[in-house]
Chains A and B, each alone.
Chain A
Amino acid sequence: MSITDQDSAVRTERRTPSAADRDPARFLRRRRISDVVLAVGFPVVMLTLWQIAATSGWIDRRFYPAPTDIVGEIRRTFQDNPKGNWWVDIGISVQRMLWGYGWGVLFGLFFGVTMGMFRTLRVTLEPTLNALYTVPKLALIGIFLIVLGFDDKPLIAVIGVTVFFFVWMQSMVAVMTVPDQLQEAARSFESSRFQLFRHVIFPSALPQIFLGLRVSAGVAVLTLIGVEFVYSPGLRGIGYRINNARTVLDPLQAYVGLLVAATLGVVFVTVIKVVGRLLTPWSSNDRTVL
């Protein structure tokens, strides 16, 4: 049989609507349901497996307490309060974090925006800041202790420095990548440098600046816990609690601490995100779930 014989066979191809094409509304509705089922189902399944593993003795319950044990521990910790007042620790930690974050954001925005706008400043400072960026900030705690004294200041300073670099970098790039067409449009109306900044550069950079603020909000929580492991004046703070649980061999308290830290992070990041959305109502490119 030759090739031409094969080719001459008559074939009919047909394009027909799939279920999704026929009823897109139904398809999307179903997909939304299945999305939620998957997103919620995964952690539920994992927790259930963990619970079963712990209660049936497959894993050592002393080191890997069952989820129900942890929930019970949380109740005891925050209601009956036999383990010292956790709320005080949370209050102190949040305060430290907010001070550090505040200072970091303040300086980060100032340097980011000005270095983005003024080339000379950028050329002068960027190589130095880039070099400092890679210095492990936690290692600075010793120096800060000597310089700033043994209170909250060194802790706040480490958080501030860490946050600074994230905010600085993100906002400098944001300012530098403001579209030329928009700057030209503003300049064609004889805008002053300040008007250009106020009406064009700043609002244009704002969505990306908020991305930096959000990332650094998470980083502030991480740094807070990290520093409190090493240094926690007054022996108070979430990080201190977690570390202390290790030294007194109380894993339940460590798990509570981890949950508290995670919750703090989620709340803080969400707050920054909501503020960002309120301040940039024109920007619709941010469609993440949380």
Chain B
Amino acid sequence: MQSVDTERSATETDKIVATGVHRVFGGTGERVHALGPVDLAISDGEFVCIVGPSGCGKSTFLRMVAGLIGPSDGTIEFTTHRSGQSTSMVFQEYSIFPWKRVIDNARYGLDVAGVSKKEGNRRAMEYLGKLGLAERAKSWPDTLSGGMKQRVAIARALAVEPEILLMDEPFAALDAQMRQILQEELLELWQADRRTVLFITHSLDEAILLGDRVLVMSSRPGRIIADIRVPFERPRSNTIRTSHEFTELTSELWELLRVEVDDESAGTV
């Protein structure tokens, strides 16, 4: 285990740097300090997983990176090298548009970015194909299973070829088998082009399987209490789950997390 990485200064390869980030919710009523202070640096091409007890503000942090909400204090900076969209996001569920066919959903980010329909269709189809959805391009989302819908959401996020991919518990609403399959697919896709990924999850298994680094957050207000580098080599597959190190790392993370979960259930929120 490594020490908490708070004092690191921004370097050349840093993709995302968060400094003293706080978020407070609530206006005139009760104010909730959801998050902070968070200091964090994520390198280019890194796959970073964030785990933490529910309500610790991990989704909030992701939404701040995506620009959906602003921080109450502090700054989040990211360096991008291309024009176009820097981040795109995959949500937990209910995020694809029921009134757009699969291909139109996958093309959405390209449409709003002003990419021609022809080029947009080509790229949407490319990613739908990679996710095994080419056959369903003309289907309405309502006719798809939960796993397929989530694949569409992933294809939509990847089609804009963002430098930073943000994923907010993308597999949480799926059944265990489907989750494993999509984890494998995501691993393969990521290993092919190595984007920077920020991945929120409840599942320690998932975090270790996918991530280069696992950040553990405290209960509210969320802070980063551990920053662990995952020792497994790439390319990885689901088979590492059975290894001794995997189990050990899982229990190590669980020890850290349990204190926070206990804390929360004891009412010290």
- A interface residues, Cβ below 8 angstroms from B: 179, 181-182, 184-192, 195, 199-200, 203-204, 206, 280-284
Contacts and interface: CB of A to CB of B under 8 A. Distances in A.
A231 B150 CA distance: 59
Interface residues of B, number: 28
A53 B188 CA distance: 80
A182 B97 contact: yes
Interface in B105-150: 108-109, 111-113, 140-142
Contacts of B141: 282
Contact of A185 (B67, B91, B99): B91
Contact of A199 (B66, B67, B98, B111): B111
Given A184-B68, A204-B99, A282 B142 contact: yes
A128 B184 CA distance: 57
Given A189-B112, A190-B113, A181 B98 contact: no
Contacts of B158: none
A179 B95 CA distance: 9
A187 B94 contact: no
A213 B133 CA distance: 37
Of A184, A185, A195, A204, most buried by chain B (CB within 10 Å of CB) is: A185
Given A188-B88, A192-B112, 4 more contacts: A186-B97, A188-B87, A204-B97, A282-B99
A121 to B, nearest CB: 21
B97 A195 contact: no
Contact of B96 (A185, A187, A191): A185
Contacts of B93: 181
A189 B108 contact: yes
6 contacts: A182-B97, A185-B91, A186-B97, A190-B113, A199-B97, A200-B97
A182 B94 contact: yes
Given A189-B112, A190-B85, A282-B140, A181 B91 contact: yes
Contacts of A188: 66-68, 87-89, 91, 166
Contacts of A281: 140
B160 interface: yes
A260 B224 CA distance: 73
Contacts of B99: 203-204, 206, 280, 282-283
A181 B142 contact: no
A246 to B, nearest CB: 49
A187 to B, nearest CB: 6
Contact of B112 (A179, A195, A204): A195
A48 B142 CA distance: 46
A199 B112 contact: yes
B54 to A, nearest CB: 18
Contact of A189 (B96, B100, B109, B140): B109
Contacts of B100: 199, 203
A182 to B, nearest CB: 6
Which of B88, B98, B140 is packed against the most chain A CB atoms within 10 Å? B98
A186 B88 CA distance: 10
Nearest to B84: A190
Q: Which of A190, A192, A199 has the most CB of B within 10 A?
A: A190
Contacts of A191: 112
A214 B228 CA distance: 59
A190 B87 CA distance: 9
Contacts of B68: 184, 187-188
CB-based closest 9 A-B pairs: A203-B99, A185-B95, A189-B109, A188-B89, A191-B112, A282-B99, A181-B94, A195-B112, A282-B140
